[in-house]
Structure 1
């Protein structure tokens, strides 16, 4: 299979798993290592000459949504554990100190998010790291003096929260997609059909895409489908899109929806440029559709041969999960979680002050951070209307007969050209 890659623990590691407390009870914690992680730790050999971390651990409290149907993102926690293993085993820890994670799983409710924040504050963690949490308890962390660094801003309030979000979120992804389509620097296309699942997540994405398309001077039509469809249903959606006579197509589906729509586009002989998220670039999708992926652009993916970092990520995630490296998908939240923690490490490694949560937070906010995967500068707070957002441009990949390649000459496409504040 052609290489595809995107964007995004351990000597001395302790992983604690918090559970949502019942009313009147404190959150409990299991401080033992999960079986897969414990069994893999001894097998990790130090591959560098950096000294092993020693001394007092640097403790990051993790909040992530897990175990709730529809809002279940364990890939983040898995990636964090794998990245922490790598940091402690090969990168010398955080400032020479062993990295320790305390992972608290929320249940997609404000109460459980608040309980996690209170528990982590009581433990005195150095920093809070958000995987995906719908109800981040910013006030609790702020009161405890704990800086918050997240991966993806979800709701409008996250964009102005007292936090740092190192990646784009829907606002930047959708605006950059619009820019890639409408700008004369890229495709210069002005008639767009959008195939959208009728879901809350898609509705949120459309609130950013639609004004960006308008700002770029595009006409567009929204074709709504169910959250899941039959093969015939996906074909009908693609036929409706084609009836608009578009010069470009955007789809808001993942997994089975990606497969159905890619196949339908190929079967119907539609050859206009088509755009999807990296969810449609996963191994399970590409293996299913084969050459039907040709002609598709993927927002947030860079394409080209697999990088050394991607191989390292798959190695460590495989050890944490008990799988083989070739079984690890290089896209989605696993890759993003890996990039998130290693971006924080990268900023910490370049501090000119003693290691600490506030020092790392200040470095992000003063524009001294760079993204782990691409080395793109992180411009946290550079847009006053979006003070928590650090990254305003993303790469795109394009699927050709030779496999996945960088789109637009490898350029990072900015969202700011078509964002209106």
Structure 2
């Protein structure tokens, strides 16, 4: 059965997304149905971020090699392509909003690209795989576009890649579409689902010292892919894993939670969104389960907080970028402050793909400035991206594209884990960690 746009999105992006700042506004004194499913023992002496100062990007002017002031509107624009899924339920318009804000910021604060305005050429995939072909043709046909950025292209990626086929370089924050990791001349600075999910195994083994894991997932095609990646990562770390799916419409999840062995497992890994997260949290409470829960950040949304009486589950959450609400992180503070100058609201700035869109555009600005506005071509951009080793805005300190032969576009495989303490407060539990060795 083919995946629907909604189901593919839910599964494929679940490991890598930043949570919503709106969560803090949802925090209240209501009964938190998941308090009994906390993370006892989930502490780490490596909670501090050990990235060197040079890898923590807070000075965007220096990062992109720009000049203070506005771009010269009389000069010819430097084109940048942008492709994203949006316009229908399951889309991610925040990715494009983050990218547009970054373009505005470059043009108003960083002097453009050598004085030339940066111009975004946007193509959207709405609801069909073949729409990716249209976007690929648009990007190749636009002679002013020498590089293409991708937001959340979980749908249409195969047809897009078949058209572009490496003719122009593609930069993406998170490779959500299953064909992106193997696409030609493509670079994913935050990684893809299978490699990022491996860190769930490392965390469970090295921090929790877990031996067994229960994976509970929505029984949709996309979430089956996500759960398979989680199971693979956990098994690679030496854990015994039982994975059980449930129907997306189900509300009483005591059955699947029990069947997955959550009562006796050392760690519980939910892979769902919205009502599924609520159902898992309520089932764990009803069963009296008080084991560490290590979730994907899609359970960190206001609808989950609302379903649980006013606040999120006090679980552990892993992400492949610095948490925007991490008050200890200088790069998160810089992103929220500077993106606001470009008109990005706090709510949008912390939604899913907005920080990744921001990061992707500013990385391109860095590359374009290094080349020089009059020398930008697909070939020169490709040359620069091949040499790019970071740092990445709000990302891990090391970027190594081509590390994995089976996924040459993947440039990162690291994540951090945070403990949600209630009322919008998060505590870092780990430094950046890699998949099991």
Classify the TM-score, shorter chain: 0.7 to 0.9
Instruction: Calculate the TM-score normalised by the size of structure 1.
Output: 0.76
User: What SS class does the counterpart of residue 385 from structure 1 fall into?
Assistant: coil
Q: 1:65 aligns with which of 59, 67, 85?
A: 85
**SS of equivalent residue, structure 1 residue 214:** helix
1:179 aligned to 2:194? no
Q: Which residue of 2 aligns with 1:252?
A: 271
SS at match of 2:294: strand
1:75 is the counterpart of 2:97: no
Helix, strand or coil for the counterpart of 2:130?
helix
Instruction: Find the counterpart in structure 2 of residue 191 from structure 1.
Output: 212
Report how many residues are paired: 361
Tell me which of 384, 392, 407 is aligned to 1:363: 384
Partner of 2:111: 92
Question: CA offsets per residue over residues 308-362 of structure 1, 9 Å max, x none?
Answer: 2342366267x36xxxx35436141223222222233344455589555443432
Moved more, 129-138 or 186-195: 129-138
Is 1:132 the counterpart of 2:152 in the alignment?
A: yes
Cross-structure match for 1:296: 316
In the other structure, the counterpart of 1:383 is 404
* Distance across 2 between alignment mates of 1:399 and 1:159: 31
Counterpart residue number, 2:139: 120
Contact 2:200 2:318 in 1 (8 A): no
Aligned partner of 2:70 among 52, 55, 59 = 52
Residue matched to 1:160: 182
The secondary structure found in structure 1 opposite 2:406 is coil
Partner residue in 1 for 2:395: 374
| Residues 282 and 331 in structure 1, CA contact (< 8 A), matched pair in contact too | no
SS of the residue corresponding to residue 285 of structure 1 reads: helix
Match of 2:246 among 207, 221, 225: 225
Question: 283, 288, 311: which one pairs with 1:269?
Answer: 288
Q: Which runs of 5+ in 1 are unaligned?
A: 9-47
Alignment of 1:101 onto 2:120: yes
Contact 2:146 2:378 in 1 (8 A): yes
Q: Alpha carbon RMSD of aligned pairs, Å?
A: 3.0
1:374–1:50 CA distance, 2 compared to 1 (3 A) = same
**For the structure 1 residues 227 and 164, does the alpha-carbon distance in structure 2 shift closer, same or farther, using more than 3 Å as the test?**
same
Q: 1:364 to 1:301 in 2, by over 3 A?
A: closer
Q: Which residue of 2 aligns with 1:14?
A: none
Q: CA deviation at 1:167?
A: 1.8
Supply the distance in 1 between the matched residues of 2:370 and 2:297 (Cα, whole angstroms): 30
SS at match of 1:369: coil
Equivalent residues of 2:262, 2:268 under 8 A apart: no
Q: Which moved more, 1:355-364 or 1:270-279?
A: 355-364
Whether the 8 Å CA contact 1:282–1:329 is kept in 2: the answer is no
Distance 2:299 2:282 in 1: 12
TM value normalised by structure 2: 0.73
1-side partners of 2:410 and 2:19: how far apart?
17
Q: String of CA shifts for 1:246-281, please: whole Å, max 9, x gaps.
A: 000001111232233234434543221111122222
| Offset at residue 380 of structure 1 (A) | 1.0
Distance 1:287 1:390 in 2: 36
Q: 2:78·2:117 contact (CA, 8 Å) conserved in 1?
A: yes
Q: List gaps (5 residues or longer) in structure 2.
A: 1-16, 21-65
- Per the alignment, in what secondary structure is the counterpart of residue 202 of structure 1? helix
Question: Is the alpha carbon distance of 1:95 and 1:384 closer, same or farther for their aligned partners in structure 2, counting shifts above 3 Å?
Answer: farther
Are 1:127 and 1:357, in contact at CA under 8 Å, matched by a contact in 2? yes
Q: Distance in 2 between matches of 1:165 and 1:245?
A: 38
